[in-house]
């Protein structure tokens, strides 16, 4: 149970990092 939650959190964190990186690429000139 806790392991699944941890894996989900890691995936979300990775996705968030990828998305924020994309946003920075788009917003920054």
| Predicted pLDDT of residue 3 | 93
| Predicted pLDDT of residue 11 | 92
User: What does the block give as tokens for 14?
Assistant: 């990775």
The string of pLDDT tens digits covering residues 1-29 is: 789 999 998 899 899 999 999 988 888 87
Q: Phi/psi at 26 (nearest 5 deg)?
A: -75, -45
CA pseudo-torsion sign 24, 25, 27, 29:
positive
């Amino acid at each position: 149970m806790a392991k699944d939650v941890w894996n989900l959190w890691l995936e979300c964190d990775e996705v968030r990092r990828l998305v924020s990186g994309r946003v920075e690429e788009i917003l920054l000139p």
